[in-house]
Amino acid sequence: MSNLVPKLESLAVSVTNQLKPNEEPTREGAITPRINRLSRPLEAIDIPHKKINSICCIGAGYVGGPTCAVIAAKNPHVKVTIVDLNAARIAAWNSDKLPIYEPGLDEVVKTARGRNLFFSTDVEGGILDADLIFVSVNTPTKIKGIGAGFAADLGYVESATRKIAEVAKSDKIVVEKSTVPCRTAQSMRYILEANAKPDIKFDILSNPEFLAEGTAISDLFYPDRVLIGSLDTESGRSAAASLADVYAGWVARDQIITMNLWSSELSKLAANAILAQRISSINALSAICEATGADIDEVSYACGLDSRIGPKFLKASVGFGGSCFQKDILNLVYLSESLHLPEVATYWKQVVEMNEYQKRRFTNRVISCLFNTLTGKKIAVFGFAFKKDTGDTRESPAITLVNYFREEKAYISIYDPQVDEAQIWMDLTEPGVVDETEAVKRQVSIAADPYKAAAGADAIVICTEWNEFRDTALDYQQIYKEMKKPAFIFDGRLILDAKKLGRIGFKVETIGRPRTTFVQTTDFE
Ligand SMILES: NC(=O)C1=CN([C@@H]2O[C@H](COP(=O)(O)OP(=O)(O)OC[C@H]3O[C@@H](n4cnc5c(N)ncnc54)[C@H](O)[C@@H]3O)[C@@H](O)[C@H]2O)C=CC1
Ligand SMILES: O=C(O)[C@H]1O[C@H](OP(=O)(O)OP(=O)(O)OC[C@H]2O[C@@H](n3ccc(=O)[nH]c3=O)[C@H](O)[C@@H]2O)[C@H](O)[C@@H](O)[C@@H]1O
């Protein structure tokens, strides 16, 4: 199998040769013909391939859990076992309170669990039994060593790969589901080949996941595309066809795209980078709006009507969060630097820097409107999750904002409908530093509902766009009565009707709209 490696090098070249760089795509057809040229539509791959009867997914997280639960629900004849080293997480998957909140997930799990969907800590048993193994473990940013702060920590991918090599007694298709740097499949191949029992064959596929949290189930039910990367060998194409059959349980064949491994790996990083870049672009423009009197929602709307731009991912905000955008862009920055492409690295890094700037800028606006000091003031933070409809707080902008408010000596009361209290304390403290927890608790409290969070507060700061924070859902009249005056609302998500709340008496400050309240004395001079 080691003779595959030189062929990997030539693969990229052979795919590049298929492109016609001089061909100018039409405006309407800029994307579609290009994909067709690059990909190998599956129906055209008339190649014998194995039927998948048993799947194991290593990693029962936000991706492995929902993705493989949907695969099981849509393929009742395929046994799907999701394994994880984290026993508490597996116990939760086997209980009535699933470890993650995701609309529609409960129903999917109930449909298949115990029938052909199983959650287990028996990683070895899962591997032994499977024809196809998804590796869906975490790939966080490295915090120490070479590449710290940028490169992906592939330790979990490596240990899952080593476990597969150690345990497997039959041929396996190993699928990268985790988001990984370009050419990780090559490292996985080396590890498998160096450690597996003789005569066992591994095919490695890249099958990145594009679901977004909060909409995971509908994203999985109706994906824009399913991407499968494989080696352009008979064995690679055959493995891709086997995996494609699994998705064909519910996804139209022409939406299942195949391409070379490295393109597939890079496409995932690229998609996240481009999505985040749109948010940073609109957030950069929101600063111009605030200074000029333009309204960012109107600017987004006007730009989004251009069919080349489109309306999605142009919502200004207090900054993007989530476990992946920042991590994946930093990963791309690291990759670019490693490839001696410093200009490319600088370009992508700016997307993350703009995001940090947006959070600082919004905090400065809060401080400035509250008469230039937060000392001793109470700030009600509405929302702690990184977006609505999830309990996930990873890289949530709310964490950064609360920390900034703490530095300014404010008291903060947090309400979020889905985030566990313990998670909030973990996010606001260094793990294991008990003294720090006590210090945080002197300044931060967690409220049972938004009314309690806002009672006696000087300001409300909307960090997450939960529907229940809208002015059509909450009784802002009641909230106003219980707040200190002047009562401020800082809408970091553009979800409130500022005029309506203004009529109640609130001073409303909205991201991407000019400031309406308290002009500093220096402005009069
Ligand atoms: N969260 C999201 O919405 C998306 C995440 N991704 C990518 O998917 C990957 C997984 O992300 P999440 O599911 O969010 O991570 P997660 O942290 O929620 O889940 C990963 C799970 O893998 C388990 N694990 C780690 N090493 C293991 C091993 N050797 N054996 C068994 N279990 C092991 C951990 O205990 C954990 O439960 C990452 O690469 C991420 O970038 C891709 C698309 C969307
Ligand atoms: O690789 C991943 O982990 C996933 O990352 C994102 O999904 P996710 O982070 O779950 O959620 P998004 O809806 O993309 O939101 C990310 C952040 O951007 C913010 N956002 C999003 C859209 C927008 O217009 N403005 C904006 O500020 C959200 O509030 C949130 O904080 C991508 O959308 C998924 O396709 C991808 O699979």
- Catalytic residue, chosen from 57, 324, 369, 463, is 324
Nearest CA to ligand 2 atom 35: 210
Helices (H), 293-315: 296-304
Q: Token pair for residue 181?
A: 């740097």
Looking from the CA of residue 208, the nearest atom of ligand 1 is 42
User: If pLDDT is split at 50, 70 and 90, which confidence band does 15 have?
Assistant: very low
**DSSP H or E stretch at residue 260:** strand 256-260
- CB 54 near ligand 1, within 6 Å: no
Nearest CA to ligand 1 atom 1: 62
The string of DSSP codes covering 129-176 is H-SEEEE----PBP-SSTTTTTSB--HHHHHHHHHHHHH--S-EEEEE
The yes-or-no verdict on residue 522 having pLDDT over 60 is no
Looking from the CA of residue 328, the nearest atom of ligand 2 is 1
The yes-or-no verdict on residue 343 having pLDDT over 70 is yes
- Separation of alpha carbons 338 and 214, rounded Å: 34
Half-sphere exposure of 223 (CA within 13 A, CB side): 23
Sketch out the chain's domains with CATH numbers.
50-251 (3.40.50.720), 260-525 (3.40.50.720)
* Res 40: pLDDT: 53
Q: Which residues touch 260 (CB under 8 Å, ≥6 apart)?
A: 11, 12, 15, 229, 230, 231, 232
- CB 320 near ligand 2, within 6 Å: yes
User: If pLDDT is split at 50, 70 and 90, which confidence band does 310 have?
Assistant: very high
Q: Which residues pair with 508 in a beta bridge?
A: 489
Looking from the CA of residue 160, the nearest atom of ligand 1 is 29
Written as one letter, the residue type at 138 is N
The yes-or-no verdict on residue 173 having pLDDT over 70 is yes
- How do beta strands 488-491 and 507-510 pair? parallel
* Best CA proximity match to 202, nearest among 156, 245, 181, 233: 233
User: If pLDDT is split at 50, 70 and 90, which confidence band does 518 have?
Assistant: low
Q: Are 64 and 58 in contact (CB under 8 A)?
A: yes
pTM of the model: 0.91
* Res 25: pLDDT: 37
Helices (H), 421-485: 421-428, 434-443, 450-454, 476-482
Written as one letter, the residue type at 266 is L
Q: Are 451 and 482 in contact (CB under 8 A)?
A: yes
Instruction: Please write the tens of the pLDDT for every residue from 73-85.
Output: 999 999 999 999 9
Residues forming the annotated binding site for NAD(+)? Answer: 59-64, 84, 89, 137-141, 178-179, 213, 324-327, 394
Residues forming the annotated binding site for substrate? Answer: 209-213, 268-272, 308, 315-321, 386-387, 493
Looking from the CA of residue 179, the nearest atom of ligand 2 is 1
- How do beta strands 117-120 and 79-83 pair? parallel
* Res 42: pLDDT: 52
User: If pLDDT is split at 50, 70 and 90, which confidence band does 333 have?
Assistant: very high
* Res 2: pLDDT: 35
Question: From the DSSP assignment, how many helices (H) and strands (E) are in the chain?
Answer: 21, 14
Q: Which ligand is nearest to the CA of 511?
A: 2
User: If pLDDT is split at 50, 70 and 90, which confidence band does 36 have?
Assistant: very low
Instruction: Please write the tens of the pLDDT for every residue from 140-164.
Output: 998 999 999 999 999 999 999 999 9
- CB 392 near ligand 1, within 6 Å: no
Kindly provide the ipTM of the predicted complex, given to two decimals: 0.98
- Based on the residue annotation, tell me whether 324 is a catalytic residue of this protein: yes
Q: Are 71 and 109 in contact (CB under 8 A)?
A: no
The yes-or-no verdict on residue 226 having pLDDT over 70 is yes
The yes-or-no verdict on residue 509 having pLDDT over 60 is yes
Mean pLDDT to the nearest integer, 501-517: 95
* Best CA proximity match to 137, nearest among 80, 196, 85: 85
Looking from the CA of residue 65, the nearest atom of ligand 1 is 13
- CB 315 near ligand 2, within 6 Å: yes
Q: Are 107 and 101 in contact (CB under 8 A)?
A: no
Written as one letter, the residue type at 111 is T
- CB 81 near ligand 1, within 6 Å: no
Q: Which ligand is nearest to the CA of 120?
A: 1
- Separation of alpha carbons 474 and 493, rounded Å: 16
Nearest CA to ligand 1 atom 10: 138
Written as one letter, the residue type at 236 is G
CA 313 to centroid of chain Cα atoms: 13
CA-based diameter of the chain, in Å?
83
* Res 122: pLDDT: 98
Fill in the DSSP letter of residue 461: E
* Best CA proximity match to 208, nearest among 267, 159, 164, 252: 267
Q: 325 C-alpha to center of ligand 2: Å?
A: 7
The yes-or-no verdict on residue 378 having pLDDT over 90 is yes
- CB 290 near ligand 1, within 6 Å: no
What is the overall mean pLDDT for the chain?
A: 90
Nearest CA to ligand 1 atom 19: 61
- Separation of alpha carbons 208 and 221, rounded Å: 16
Helices (H), 310-447: 325-338, 342-369, 397-407, 421-428, 434-443
Q: 106 C-alpha to center of ligand 1: Å?
A: 19
- CB 324 near ligand 1, within 6 Å: yes
**Is-cis flag, bond preceding 25, omega within 30?**
no
